[in-house]
Structure 1
Amino acid sequence: MTQSFDAAMQAFAPALPLAVGLSGGADSTALLLACARRWPGQVQAIHVHHGLQAAADGFEQHCVRLCEGLKVPLVVQRLDARHAPGQSPEDAARQARYKAFEAVALDCKAQAAIKSIAIAQHADDQAETLLLALSRGAGVAGLAAMPARWERAGVAWHRPLLQVAAGDVRRWLGAQGQSWVEDPTNSDERYTRNRIRAQLLPALDAAFPSFRDTFARSASNAAQAAELLEDLARQDLALVGAPLHITRLQGLSRARQANVLRHWLRSTHQTTPAAAQLGELLDQVAACTTRGHRIHIKVGRGFVVRTGPILDWYNPQVLVP
């Protein structure tokens, strides 16, 4: 169920000291303000300067002034978050931001300066993430959307506002008399997430006022299913081996073959097959009944190949000549 901002913060109990990701926008400003008031002297902020727009310097200046007023230490990470060919700008910025947070986390952890990191995504962000996943035909892992807590770089990460509606965050912040900055790109509907925010969420609010709660339940159900599939994939990978023994792989149902292949490629080779690539690979595994059957299929950033009784994956760009 959605919560009020105050209720969500009251329930938030991270290990201290705590770092808060601070963009300067309303959500992260509210989160930092609430945390700094609740745990004075135990909170610091991390601001990532993406270097993507002229307004970024203004975001940093706002964060500096805010943290000075709150007497909160601020770490600023400057980076180049330009996207690679074929990558969305939003995804590139998000990945760069998490890498920057992780770098600060590792540095601070070595100094025993932080034990937890909090970031300010809220219930509307969760709904947008689920809708994005649906628009891309994602499986249950994608439909699980964003977890409220996870471990990364030896630090506990939290999203304490994940059950708070965006409007409630801004109303709370306005009541405190605290200003924030608006990212001008947030109104640019060339970006898919912005179109969802501007066009779909208001329509959903009008037609299904409880959509934030029901979407959150669906995401939670998908997360449980994804966890079960991950457990099954680990068991099947132990059975078929890595690299994969073709005959043992063929002993599994097609659905379990797909599950273990995705898990193997992601966990061992850090690559993800497209749906068409995985479908072709499954067809070739089913047809592989003779010694001379050749398998050489583009999957992710490399190729899945047959070598005798096994399937393996390689990336020709990282092979040593």
Structure 2
Amino acid sequence: MGKTLAQAMAEFEPGLPLAVAYSGGADSTALLLACAEKWPGRVCAFHVHHGLQAAADAFEQHCREFCARLGVPLRVCRVDARHAPGESPEAAARHARYEAFQGLAQEDAAPGAIENIAVAQQADDQVETLLLALSRGAGLPGLSAMPAQWARDGLRYHRPLLDVPGAELRDWLRARGVAWVEDPTNADEQFTRNRIRARLLPALAVAFPQFRDTFARSAAHAAEAQRLLDELAVDDLTHIGLPPQIARLQTLSRARQANVLRHWLRRAHATVPSAAQLQELLDQVAACTTRGHRIRLKVGTGFVERQGAVLAWYNP
């Protein structure tokens, strides 16, 4: 049935001082309050004003008032999180948040050097992420859902609540008489994640009461399998070279070619090919048996092309 907030916090031992990503919603309110009580004077809050809805100013004001009552320093960053044509709104907002967190962590006003940030995704968010990945036909990286820890831009991020159901957090806040804000977009079922939350999670709770735990185990298995594939890709890259030499790439099985090319594009160029793009690239690699064979394919956000004996990726 998942963990309680108290259990999750007992196991959570990040580096201090700690920043908590605080939106004003129930999950981040519970995390901020629990962290502030466990490490008094060593916690600050980061709030990102996305500027995407009229209620954003009210969210910021709520956060300021709550942090003032709590005695927790609050740092606010206003960003333009509007998405570009062809970019998903969720991806644009996520990118803007990471940039904001990096800037906030470097502010002199923050208490000490902030290197650790806690974010409040919980067990229901993890299930939603896994179901979204399944609905999109994702591979192992998507099925691995959200990691409990990861590093980005010199910062260490933590998700200590991934085993705690959302209802447990809300019950904990109500018992303490603590208010939070509700994002009105969370009820808009034009977004797939909201439809999953409103329709699928209640049905899963009836049909499979332990679904949060079992789904979490499946995600963990997928993550473990992906780590093995990453290790294999690193070994294969030492053989085929960087950038990948076509002749050496052709000595691998098609599955290993796909794995190492996906790894190369993701790690070296921060781009992810679609399934169709990757299959076309593999076909072109297989057909590349003469000096005159030309490869230039749209892959991810740029192009893969043949440059002599190797493959190169560029973003024009």
| TM-score class normalised by the smaller sequence | over 0.9
Equivalent residue for 1:238? 238
**1:17-72 deviation digits (Å, cap 9, x = unpaired):** 11100000000011111111121111100000000001000100100000000010
Residues 134 and 143 in structure 1, CA contact (< 8 A), matched pair in contact too: yes
* Separation in structure 1 between the aligned mates of residue 92 and residue 301 of structure 2, nearest angstrom: 17
**1:136-164 deviation digits (Å, cap 9, x = unpaired):** 11111111111111222333211111100
* Separation in structure 2 between the aligned mates of residue 180 and residue 109 of structure 1, nearest angstrom: 26
Asked if 1:2 corresponds to 2:2, the answer is yes
Could you tell me the TM-score, scaled by structure 2's length?
0.96
Residues 105 and 153 in structure 1, CA contact (< 8 A), matched pair in contact too: no
Could you tell me the TM-score, scaled by structure 1's length?
0.95
Residues 186 and 194 in structure 2, CA contact (< 8 A), matched pair in contact too: yes
Asked if 1:304 corresponds to 2:287, the answer is no
Asked if 1:270 corresponds to 2:305, the answer is no
* Separation in structure 1 between the aligned mates of residue 90 and residue 127 of structure 2, nearest angstrom: 16
Give the deviation of 1:80 after TM superposition.
0.4
Give the deviation of 1:78 after TM superposition.
0.4
Equivalent residue for 1:29? 29
Residues 44 and 111 in structure 2, CA contact (< 8 A), matched pair in contact too: no
Equivalent residue for 1:69? 69
Q: Which amino acid aligns with 2:279?
A: G
What is the SS of the residue equivalent to 1:23? coil
Give the deviation of 1:111 after TM superposition.
7.5
What is the SS of the residue equivalent to 1:48? strand
256 and 94 in structure 1: CA distance in 2 versus 1, 3 angstrom threshold: same
Q: Which amino acid aligns with 2:166?
A: A
Equivalent residue for 2:143? 143
For structure 1, the 5+ residue unaligned runs are: none
Q: Which amino acid aligns with 2:246?
A: I
Equivalent residue for 1:15? 15
Equivalent residue for 1:254? 254
Q: Which amino acid aligns with 1:253?
A: S
What is the SS of the residue equivalent to 1:244? coil
124 and 278 in structure 1: CA distance in 2 versus 1, 3 angstrom threshold: same
Equivalent residue for 1:39? 39
* Separation in structure 1 between the aligned mates of residue 7 and residue 115 of structure 2, nearest angstrom: 23
What is the SS of the residue equivalent to 1:178? coil
Give the deviation of 1:125 after TM superposition.
0.3
70 and 111 in structure 1: CA distance in 2 versus 1, 3 angstrom threshold: closer
Residues 75 and 110 in structure 2, CA contact (< 8 A), matched pair in contact too: no
Larger mean CA deviation between 240-249 and 65-74 belongs to: 240-249
**1:239-280 deviation digits (Å, cap 9, x = unpaired):** 111221111000000011001111111222222111111100
Give the deviation of 1:94 after TM superposition.
2.0
Give the deviation of 1:108 after TM superposition.
6.0
Asked if 1:186 corresponds to 2:197, the answer is no
Equivalent residue for 2:222? 222
For structure 2, the 5+ residue unaligned runs are: none
* Separation in structure 2 between the aligned mates of residue 35 and residue 97 of structure 1, nearest angstrom: 21
Residues 106 and 114 in structure 2, CA contact (< 8 A), matched pair in contact too: no
What is the SS of the residue equivalent to 1:311? strand
User: Identity of aligned pairs, percent?
Assistant: 67
* Separation in structure 2 between the aligned mates of residue 252 and residue 176 of structure 1, nearest angstrom: 60
Equivalent residue for 2:314? 314
Residues 2 and 163 in structure 1, CA contact (< 8 A), matched pair in contact too: yes
Residues 109 and 115 in structure 1, CA contact (< 8 A), matched pair in contact too: no
29 and 257 in structure 1: CA distance in 2 versus 1, 3 angstrom threshold: same
In the alignment of these two chains, the number of paired residues is: 316
Equivalent residue for 1:199? 199
**1:156-180 deviation digits (Å, cap 9, x = unpaired):** 2111111000100100011010000
Equivalent residue for 2:121? 121
Residues 304 and 311 in structure 2, CA contact (< 8 A), matched pair in contact too: yes
217 and 103 in structure 1: CA distance in 2 versus 1, 3 angstrom threshold: same
